[in-house]
Structure 1
Amino acid sequence: MDGTTAETILEVDGLVKHYPLTRGILFRKQIGEVKAVDGVDFRLGRGETLGIVGESGCGKSTVARMLVNLERPTAGTIKYKGEDITRLSGRALKAVRRNIQMVFQDPYTSLNPRMTVGDIIGEPYEIHPEVAPKGDRRRRVQDLLDVVGLNPEYVNRYPHQFSGGQRQRIGIARGLALRPEIIVADEPVSALDVSVQAQVVNLLERLQDEFDLSYVFIAHDLSIVRHISDRVGVMYLGRIVETGRDAEIYDHPTHPYTQALLSAVPVPDPDAREHRERIILTGDVPSPANVPSGCRFRTRCWKAQERCALEVPLLAVPAEFRFTEGPAAHDSACHFAEEKQVVPPEEPGGEPPAEEPESAP
């Protein structure tokens, strides 16, 4: 699904988050700032999944926290159904948070070890009592456990009595409690075994159809993002450098950074692995406290020229593809963008393993 054709439910424009760097104990003085997120724009359509990928430290999780208002942006707007939620507080913000929920990365530390599963999933009802009458909450919690594939009788157990995959299902059930319209999933499967990852991803897809959900799915595993996402945004050092439909990004990447990421994806076919080109980036990721001028990727890019140090490339369709309708005609923030197939096209019908119930703890 293309976010431009679906009803837009979330609009992010010029999103910025800078953290001050200070020196001194008694008299603190700001000496700089960490540019964790520095100008992110995207749209999310109703019922759509937007995948955000990139290296660790590129700002993905900071974007996720700002979407649910756990962090206040330094600048920019986040509009939910046309209303800028960055300016809300009190009851107005509470009402919006009911419709934008989050699934956290670590399925253990995101759950209170002193609370039972029933209390954890039912806690949103204490904050939003209008959603469920007090006498009906236990039944609703049991229904949510059943929806995510867990035994409803587990309501009195504690998080340490469950496996990692089961704990993540509990986190998903908590996110569903208020029947939100948007779920921000911050690397929800990165801490799980590969076999369990497939089960959780399949569960998220099923719940999307069942509850009419829109996802912002953040991950560093490109194969998982490809399977679940309608559109993909590639982040580097606080900015989105390429965005498009999943087939456009994976089969027709135009930004050098995206091409380097894809060349590192494991390929199960030995013949394809032997003949593909491996792109090795030199140098380290620059510090977000000392961002390079012009193009942020130029210090590691094999295409870099003098123009790259002087001009910041805009996230737009490259000039040579602007008047074409092919898959390479998608937004890319590179002065010298060109199409390059890095990985073999995905075979039709390639799916992760079917979801199987995990064994009871």
Structure 2
Amino acid sequence: MAEAILEAHGLVKHYPLTRGVLFRKEVGSVKAVDGVDFTLHRGDTLGIVGESGCGKSTVARMLVNLERPTAGCIKYKGEDITRLSGRALKAVRRNIQMVFQDPYTSLNPRMTVGDIIGEPYEIHPEAAPRGDRRRRVQELLDVVGLNPEYINRYPHQFSGGQRQRIGIARGLALRPEVIVADEPVSALDVSVQAQVINLMDRLQSEFDLSYVFIAHDLSIVRHISDRVAVMYLGRIVERGRDTEIYDHPTHPYTQALLSAVPVPDPEARERRERIILTGDVPSPTNVPSGCRFRTRCWKARDVCAEEVPLLAVPARLREPGGPAGHESACHFAEEKQVVAAEAR
């Protein structure tokens, strides 16, 4: 087992809801993240998937300390970084970088590409001598597949895929050990998505990177991830290796997500059982009791409203080495083949 480079334990983020103008009173909270645990090993990719609003991006912002957690801790190489500040936090941030979702708004339109990619060197001058920075930036442009001569161009002169490559180059500038990619391909065309995913896959081995890859498309996550965590309404509901989650899902929510993945084979698409969820995602200000998914689940029983299911390997699926024997937060977890073998 490789070294655990990044860990989250009991990660919680609640945003207070207040009322009043002069005398503000807290009347509730938005439970964006409500108890998330995971471990990222060196050289691996952890994929986090789920619907919009499930808390994926909030987790990403907490991992790079753009948001402070309400409770829980984040450990980098065993050190709790949520308690750090000043120089100690700055040193850790150099090793944990982020690639943002929108390639159009994440780049400053008034800065050249050279200034954007070289900005980390202004914050961490020890990473590159001042006279060597232009060469370093041109090398990074070449690494991500862009012409080094584009260094004096502005973001509006690039396509969406090229802008995301610039964002990746900026993330690589300080030679980090961990990159948190928050839906880095969701705003791109399908053909460009494949190019960016293949680029990130190549860079991982070239720079010895560990990824936290966030997306809502399970097919993309499977292509790049070693382990997958499925989130619903602020919590992880299923977790395991990519083959376990994709080929042997046990949680009803994961099965519903997989049934919505487009299948290129018309015959396999006809044979696949489509799972249509009823109702809307509950509000994070008023989450259901017990299992949070029960209001949309076809397996829901009385126990689902009374007891919170633990994220653990279901007793009935605990076969030694069995692919269905992975963690699932469901009282009635059972394996269900959703994606036909021909479509995998």
TM-score, normalization by structure 1: 0.94
2:125 alignment counterpart? 129
Once the two structures are TM-superposed, the CA of residue 271 in structure 1 deviates from its matched residue by: 1.0
Specify the code of the residue in structure 2 equivalent to 1:220. Answer: H
2:64 alignment counterpart? 68
- Structure 2 CA distance for aligned equivalents of residues 346 and 75 of structure 1: 44
- Structure 1 CA distance for aligned equivalents of residues 268 and 239 of structure 2: 26
Specify the code of the residue in structure 2 equivalent to 1:275. Answer: R
Specify the code of the residue in structure 1 equivalent to 2:127. Answer: V
1:314 alignment counterpart? 310
Once the two structures are TM-superposed, the CA of residue 270 in structure 1 deviates from its matched residue by: 1.0
Q: In the alignment, which of 142, 146, 150 is matched to residue 142 of structure 2?
A: 146
Specify the code of the residue in structure 1 equivalent to 2:216. Answer: H
Q: Secondary structure at the match of 1:144?
A: helix
Residues 164-243 of structure 1 aligned to structure 2 (within 5 Å): 164-243=160-239
- 5+ unaligned residues in a row in structure 1: which ranges? 351-361
Once the two structures are TM-superposed, the CA of residue 323 in structure 1 deviates from its matched residue by: 4.0
Q: Does 1:82 align with 2:85?
A: no
Specify the code of the residue in structure 2 equivalent to 1:80. Answer: Y
Once the two structures are TM-superposed, the CA of residue 346 in structure 1 deviates from its matched residue by: 6.5
Q: Secondary structure at the match of 2:52?
A: coil
Specify the code of the residue in structure 2 equivalent to 1:74. Answer: T
Once the two structures are TM-superposed, the CA of residue 6 in structure 1 deviates from its matched residue by: 1.7
- Structure 2 CA distance for aligned equivalents of residues 254 and 169 of structure 1: 36
- Structure 2 CA distance for aligned equivalents of residues 244 and 256 of structure 1: 15
- Structure 2 CA distance for aligned equivalents of residues 79 and 331 of structure 1: 22
Once the two structures are TM-superposed, the CA of residue 324 in structure 1 deviates from its matched residue by: 3.4
Q: Secondary structure at the match of 1:34?
A: strand
Residues 102-121 of structure 1 aligned to structure 2 (within 5 Å): 102-121=98-117
Specify the code of the residue in structure 2 equivalent to 1:14. Answer: G
1:340 alignment counterpart? 336
- Structure 2 CA distance for aligned equivalents of residues 292 and 197 of structure 1: 36
- Structure 2 CA distance for aligned equivalents of residues 221 and 315 of structure 1: 22
Q: Secondary structure at the match of 2:111?
A: coil
Specify the code of the residue in structure 2 equivalent to 1:190. Answer: S
Q: In the alignment, which of 245, 254, 260 is matched to residue 264 of structure 1?
A: 260
- Structure 1 CA distance for aligned equivalents of residues 251 and 2 of structure 2: 26
CA RMSD between the two structures: 0.9
- Structure 2 CA distance for aligned equivalents of residues 246 and 28 of structure 1: 46
**Alpha-carbon contact 2:13-2:71 (below 8 Å) kept:** yes
TM-score, normalization by structure 2: 0.99
Q: Does 1:281 align with 2:281?
A: no
Q: Secondary structure at the match of 2:58?
A: helix
The ranges of structure 1 where at least 4 consecutive aligned residues each deviate by more than 4 angstroms after the TM superposition are none
Specify the code of the residue in structure 2 equivalent to 1:250. Answer: Y
311-320 or 323-332, larger mean C-alpha shift? 323-332
- Structure 2 CA distance for aligned equivalents of residues 31 and 344 of structure 1: 48
- Structure 2 CA distance for aligned equivalents of residues 101 and 171 of structure 1: 11
- Structure 1 CA distance for aligned equivalents of residues 58 and 267 of structure 2: 39
Specify the code of the residue in structure 2 equivalent to 1:35. Answer: K
1:32 alignment counterpart? 28
Specify the code of the residue in structure 2 equivalent to 1:67. Answer: L
Q: Secondary structure at the match of 2:341?
A: coil
Q: Secondary structure at the match of 1:291?
A: coil
Once the two structures are TM-superposed, the CA of residue 222 in structure 1 deviates from its matched residue by: 1.2
Q: Deviations over 1:123-177 (max 9, x none)?
A: 0000000010000000000000000000001110000000000000000000000
Q: In the alignment, which of 297, 303, 311 is matched to residue 301 of structure 1?
A: 297
The alignment of Structure 1 onto Structure 2 pairs a total of residues equal to 344
Q: Deviations over 1:18-39 (max 9, x none)?
A: 0000111111110000000000
Specify the code of the residue in structure 2 equivalent to 1:103. Answer: V
- Structure 1 CA distance for aligned equivalents of residues 93 and 256 of structure 2: 37
| CA 104–251 in structure 1, closer or farther in 2 if over 3 Å, else same | same
- 5+ unaligned residues in a row in structure 2: which ranges? none
216-225 or 315-324, larger mean C-alpha shift? 315-324
Q: In the alignment, which of 13, 25, 29 is matched to residue 9 of structure 2?
A: 13
Q: Secondary structure at the match of 2:108?
A: coil
